[in-house]
């Protein structure tokens, strides 16, 4: 295990604690001493199996079957290359790299080595999207003509990660369309069933910038902002009370009118997980107050300064088999989630994927009927996809199954993201083939 942070410790490896017969973790490399110790304790690792740097463990002769890499985005390439060269199969968090040439290099390295390099495009393993793929393959909606898909990023998640957070500047991190939406571009490629030939894109610059800062807003929201009661981005309600997150989780899939209801502002105390954990390791009331005063997460969202991720981006893609797709990523949704509509020559499919609810309906043109598809209940983040992906990877490592997707296939989602960023910034069209 390389990088035992949020994803490394939480997304995949719990499956091995529940099902030891599937495999075991034999070593960890993690820079943070507290995280390393906590991980080692959970997996019963002795001191000789704990490393503070990826490099240290990968320099040793190979002693395991695979390496799971969940370091930050810009620290994927070096350990993944070293692991492939050392003969390990690799499960690598997305995005595979933050520069296109590095993505190409990683795919070439995995093909040279003959080892698996699987990128964590977890949505392919979400029951909802597996069901969508099954319906498309069954021919129920005929030939696919067009796909409309949207990643509706909530206003508060955008403010947290893409204005105040680590992905706020695309040169310093990577374009939001890669960091947030390479999963969606992978879905489009998978559903269309052919390689892309043309792409174009437009974007809207962020409105969360100094020139739109409300009058008399202080540098940090906690310093007595006069707009606290009306500003949806108020950091105090976001990180101390968690009101936006709680309101999001309570919403239903359709926007139902509740004009008659008083606006109830729920709050929670003592929350230690995301997004609070990103801001501070000390989730005590004093720790949160200090972080709200001293870190970027407490700042007025209009006064961050170097945030340049778009507030919306539209991408048009044509695939070699004639399927056309439109993808929208935007940042002001009342509710976090993905919505999809696929129209074919015989029917239409509509799907919604939210934190606490999913739906999938298929309409038949000839009969005028529609049916709801029953789905496995939502378990955990990503609709239960994380352990499914890990199980499939482990089976592929054992040689019992083909991997669900290859690094070369995952390269397309990254190429599409880099091209979309380029096209939107330069007003050009990208072509392949």
Ligand X SMILES: NC(=O)c1ccc[n+]([C@@H]2O[C@H](COP(=O)([O-])OP(=O)(O)OC[C@H]3O[C@@H](n4cnc5c(N)ncnc54)[C@H](O)[C@@H]3O)[C@@H](O)[C@H]2O)c1
Binding site for ligand X (CB under 6 A): 2-3, 5-8, 29-32, 35, 53-54, 70-73, 75, 93-94, 120, 122
Q: Can you tell me the distance from the alpha carbon of 419 to that of 431, in angstroms, rounded to the nearest whole number? A: 9
Q: Can you tell me the distance from the alpha carbon of 135 to that of 129, in angstroms, rounded to the nearest whole number? A: 10
Q: What is the DSSP letter of 213?
A: P
User: Residue 239 Cβ, how far from ligand X at the closest point, in Å?
Assistant: 17
Q: Can you tell me the distance from the alpha carbon of 252 to that of 250, in angstroms, rounded to the nearest whole number? A: 7
Residue with tokens 């330069």: 426
Give the nearer residue to ligand X in terms of CB position, either 182 or 396: 182
CA dist list (Å): 5 to 19, 29, 413: 21, 11, 24
User: Residue 183 Cβ, how far from ligand X at the closest point, in Å?
Assistant: 6
Give the nearer residue to ligand X in terms of CB position, either 3 or 298: 3
Could you tell me if 65 and 87 are in contact, meaning their C-beta atoms sit under 8 angstroms apart?
A: no
User: Residue 301 Cβ, how far from ligand X at the closest point, in Å?
Assistant: 21
User: Residue 76 Cβ, how far from ligand X at the closest point, in Å?
Assistant: 6
Give the nearer residue to ligand X in terms of CB position, either 302 or 390: 390
User: Residue 261 Cβ, how far from ligand X at the closest point, in Å?
Assistant: 34
Residue with tokens 């390099």: 117
User: Residue 35 Cβ, how far from ligand X at the closest point, in Å?
Assistant: 5
Give the nearer residue to ligand X in terms of CB position, either 336 or 343: 336
Give the nearer residue to ligand X in terms of CB position, either 30 or 184: 30
148, exposed or middle or buried, with CB in 10 Å at 0-12, 13-18, 19+?
middle
User: Residue 348 Cβ, how far from ligand X at the closest point, in Å?
Assistant: 28
User: Residue 7 Cβ, how far from ligand X at the closest point, in Å?
Assistant: 3
Give the nearer residue to ligand X in terms of CB position, either 2 or 141: 2
433, exposed or middle or buried, with CB in 10 Å at 0-12, 13-18, 19+?
exposed
E-assigned strands of 284-405? 312-319, 324-333, 337-344, 347-354, 358-364, 370-372
DSSP per position, 255-319: ----TTS-------SS--STTHHHH-S--SHHHHHHHHHHSGGGB-GGG-SS----SEEEEEEEE
Q: Specify which residues 361 forms β-bridges with.
A: 350, 372
Q: Can you tell me the distance from the alpha carbon of 190 to that of 172, in angstroms, rounded to the nearest whole number? A: 30
Q: Which residue is nearest to ligand X (CB)?
A: 5
User: Residue 9 Cβ, how far from ligand X at the closest point, in Å?
Assistant: 8
Q: Can you tell me the distance from the alpha carbon of 342 to that of 148, in angstroms, rounded to the nearest whole number? A: 6
Give the nearer residue to ligand X in terms of CB position, either 56 or 426: 56
Residue with tokens 């604690």: 17
153, exposed or middle or buried, with CB in 10 Å at 0-12, 13-18, 19+?
buried
Give the nearer residue to ligand X in terms of CB position, either 94 or 115: 94
Q: Can you tell me the distance from the alpha carbon of 283 to that of 9, in angstroms, rounded to the nearest whole number? A: 19
Q: Can you tell me the distance from the alpha carbon of 411 to that of 70, in angstroms, rounded to the nearest whole number? A: 18
Could you tell me if 96 and 414 are in contact, meaning their C-beta atoms sit under 8 angstroms apart?
A: yes
Give the nearer residue to ligand X in terms of CB position, either 170 or 200: 170
User: Residue 167 Cβ, how far from ligand X at the closest point, in Å?
Assistant: 8
Give the nearer residue to ligand X in terms of CB position, either 90 or 430: 90
Give the nearer residue to ligand X in terms of CB position, either 54 or 276: 54
Query: Where on the phi/psi map is residue 95: left (φ > 0), alpha (ψ -120 to 50), or beta?
Result: beta
User: Residue 368 Cβ, how far from ligand X at the closest point, in Å?
Assistant: 38
């Amino acid at each position: 295990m390389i990088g035992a942070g949020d994803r490394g410790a939480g997304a995949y490896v719990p499956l091995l604690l529940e099902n030891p017969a599937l495999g075991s973790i034999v070593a960890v490399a993690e820079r943070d001493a507290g995280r390393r110790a906590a991980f080692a304790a959970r997996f019963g690792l002795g001191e000789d199996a704990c490393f503070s740097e990826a490099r240290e463990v990968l320099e040793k002769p190979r002693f395991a079957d695979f390496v799971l890499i969940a370091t930050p985005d810009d620290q994927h390439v070096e350990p993944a290359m070293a692991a492939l060269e050392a003969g390990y199969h690799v499960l690598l968090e997305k995005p595979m790299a933050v520069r296109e040439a590095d993505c190409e290099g990683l795919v070439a390295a995995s093909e040279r080595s003959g080892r698996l390099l699987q990128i964590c495009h977890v949505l392919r393993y979400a029951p909802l999207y597996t069901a969508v793929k099954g319906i498309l393959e069954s021919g129920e909606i005929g030939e696919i003509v067009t796909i409309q898909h949207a990643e509706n990023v909530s206003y508060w998640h955008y403010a947290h990660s893409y204005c105040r957070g680590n992905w706020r500047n695309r040169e310093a991190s990577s374009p939001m369309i890669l960091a947030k939406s390479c999963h969606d571009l992978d879905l489009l490629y998978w559903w269309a069933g052919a390689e892309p030939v043309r792409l174009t894109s437009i974007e809207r610059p962020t409105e969360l910038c100094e020139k739109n800062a409300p009058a008399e807003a202080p540098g940090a929201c906690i310093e007595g902002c006069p707009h606290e009661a009306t500003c949806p981005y108020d950091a105090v309600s976001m990180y101390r009370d968690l009101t936006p997150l709680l309101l999001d989780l309570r919403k239903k899939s359709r926007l139902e009118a509740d004009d008659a209801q008083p606006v109830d502002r729920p709050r929670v105390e003592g929350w230690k997980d995301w997004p609070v954990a990103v801001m501070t390791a000390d989730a005590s009331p004093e720790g949160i107050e200090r972080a709200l005063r001293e870190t970027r997460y407490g700042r007025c969202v209009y006064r961050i300064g170097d945030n340049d991720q778009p507030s919306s981006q539209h991408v048009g893609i044509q695939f070699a088999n004639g399927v056309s797709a439109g993808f929208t990523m935007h940042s002001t949704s009342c509710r976090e989630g993905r919505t999809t509509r696929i129209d074919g020559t015989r029917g239409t499919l509509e799907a919604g994927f939210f934190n606490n609810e999913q739906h999938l309906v298929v309409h038949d043109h000839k009969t005028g009927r529609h049916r709801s598809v029953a789905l496995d209940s939502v378990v955990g983040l990503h609709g239960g996809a994380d352990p499914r992906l890990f199980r499939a990877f482990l089976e592929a490592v054992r040689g019992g199954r083909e991997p669900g997707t290859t690094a070369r296939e995952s390269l397309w989602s990254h190429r599409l993201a880099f091209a979309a960023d380029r096209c939107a910034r330069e007003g050009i069209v990208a072509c392949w083939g």
